[in-house]
Amino acid sequence: MPAKKTVAQKVVYASSATAKAAKKAAPRKASATKVDLDPQRIQKILKRLRAAHPDVVCALHHNNAWELTVATILSAQCTDVRVNMVTPGLFRRFPTPKSFAEAPIEAIEEEIRSTGFYRNKARSIQGAARRLITEFGGKVPQTMEELLTLPGVARKTANVVLGSWFGIAVGVVVDTHVLRLSNRLGLTKNTTPEKVEQDLMRILPQNRWIQFSHELIHHGRQACVARKPRCADCTLETLCHAKDKTWNSH
């Protein structure tokens, strides 16, 4: 029998990560950046991001849709670098969804312990593996609706898998970087991933949904870091209303 997904299992660390990220990214009231949806400005932002980060891809190492699903589940509240250190050994020990489904849960926990929240993550991964086998013939499904039925998979993970592996754009990946930069760039005034995603889907052309996230995540790591962003060296400086903020207070 597949492990029945519980609400608690699905949201316990996702909600914690989301709340923390939203709190971090939320502009302080006194210095909130104004929303500016001028189409020409948005086009310029898209153009400069693409030029600055050409061909950027998902930073999580993977060889197939299942590995990307697992890696993305592991990336909640954890750096991609750490996940990439853990997944080679994990996939050597458990090379298929079947091997995850049949493994003692403690064995999975042992492999992923250093990514944090390892008990919940192990349950999610095993639950997702079992559901893949019983409901989807062992293959990762290719629709948002189906992906969301997998334990541990919320919209962000589903968007990562659909976009980065299948090339299907049905949403925008909103992680902590996309959340922070979308606010700083005045593309949204919302602070929850769900609402920011809806805003981005409204203002961006669909053929840029997948790559825009990759570019913004990369830009958030390289220039527009959480504390003291490097505005003077930023390619978006002349288009960004947040550039004059006193970042020392963040």
Q: Please give the positions annotated as active site.
A: 156, 175
- Rounded Cα distance, 39 and 59, in Å: 29
Q: Which two tokens stand for residue 149?
A: 């039925």
**Contact flag: residue 240 with ligand SF4 (CB under 6 A):** yes
Q: Which long-range contacts (CB under 8 A, 24 or more apart) does 136-141 make?
A: 138/96, 138/97, 138/98, 139/65, 140/65, 140/66, 140/69, 140/165
Residue number with CB closer to ligand SF4 (192 or 235): 235
Residue number with CB closer to ligand SF4 (172 or 234): 234
x/- binding map, residues 206-235, to ligand SF4, per CB under 6 A?
A: -----------------xx----xxx--x-
x/- binding map, residues 145-184, to ligand SF4, per CB under 6 A?
A: ---------------------------------------x
State which H helix or E strand residue 95 sits in. none
Q: Which of 186, 221, 213 is nearest to 80 (CA)?
A: 221
Residue number with CB closer to ligand SF4 (17 or 25): 25
- Rounded Cα distance, 79 and 156, in Å: 15
CA atoms within 13 A on the CB side of 145: 0
CB neighbour list of residue 231: distance below 8 Å, 6 or more residues apart: 237, 240, 243, 247
Q: Which of 216, 114, 121, 116 is nearest to 173 (CA)?
A: 216
**Contact flag: residue 187 with ligand SF4 (CB under 6 A):** no
Among 185, 187, 196, 200, binds ligand SF4 (CB under 6 A): 185
**Contact flag: residue 26 with ligand SF4 (CB under 6 A):** no
**Contact flag: residue 70 with ligand SF4 (CB under 6 A):** no
Per the listing, tokens 């004059």 go with 244
**Contact flag: residue 242 with ligand SF4 (CB under 6 A):** yes
Among 122, 236, 248, 250, binds ligand SF4 (CB under 6 A): 236
Residue number with CB closer to ligand SF4 (131 or 243): 243
User: Where on the chain is the footprint of ligand SF4 (CB under 6 A)?
Assistant: 184-185, 223-224, 229-231, 234, 236-237, 240, 242-243
